[in-house]
Amino acid sequence: MVLGFFKSHVDNKYPTTPLKFTGKDSGEATLEDIISHKVPELYKGASFWYNPLLPSGDFQTAYTGLSKFESVDKVCYKRRILNIESEDKTYEVEGEKLKYDDWEGRSTIAIDYVVPPGREDPNHEKYRPVSQTKHLPPRTEYLNPEHELELLSDDSKPLVIALHGLSGGSYESYIRAFLSKVTDKPYDFDALVLNSRGCANHTITSPQLFCGLWTNDLRYLINEHIRPNWPNKRIYLIGFSLGGAICANYLGQEADNTYHNIKGGAIMGCPWDFPDSCIQLQSSLLGSHIYSPKMCNNLVDLLNEHYEGHLRSNPLVEAYKKNPENFKLGTLKAFDENFTSKLFGFNCADEYYRHASPIQRLLKVRVPLVIVNSIDDPIIGYRTLPFSEVRLNPFTALVTTTTGGHLGWFDYKGNRWYADPISRLFKELDDNWSFNKKSVDEKDLPFDTTKLWKYDRIIM
Which CA distances in Å does 55 have to 50, 58, 291, 354, 392? 7, 8, 18, 33, 34
C-alpha to C-alpha distance for 126 and 342, rounded to whole angstroms: 37
Question: Which residues are known to be catalytic?
Answer: 241, 377, 406
What's 106's DSSP letter? -
**Listing from the earlier edge strand, what are the strands of the sheet with 21-23?**
28-29, 21-23, 433-434
Query: Which residue type sits at 318?
Result: E
Pairing state between β 235-240 and 90-93: unpaired
Question: Nearest-CA neighbor of 258 among 391, 364, 389?
Answer: 364
CA neighbours closer than 13 Å in the CB half-sphere of residue 290: 11
Torsion angle defined by CA atoms of residues 172, 131, 196 and 82, in that order, rounded to the nearest 10 degrees: -110
- What is the DSSP secondary-structure string of 109-125? EEEEEEE-TT---TTGG
Helix H or strand E encompassing 250: helix 242-254
Torsion angle defined by CA atoms of residues 24, 443, 247 and 159, in that order, rounded to the nearest 10 degrees: 10
Question: Nearest-CA neighbor of 218 among 251, 185, 265, 267?
Answer: 251
Contact present, 221 and 194 (Cβ < 8 Å): yes
Contact present, 403 and 57 (Cβ < 8 Å): yes
CB-CB neighbours of 436 under 10 Å: 10
C-alpha to C-alpha distance for 301 and 321, rounded to whole angstroms: 12
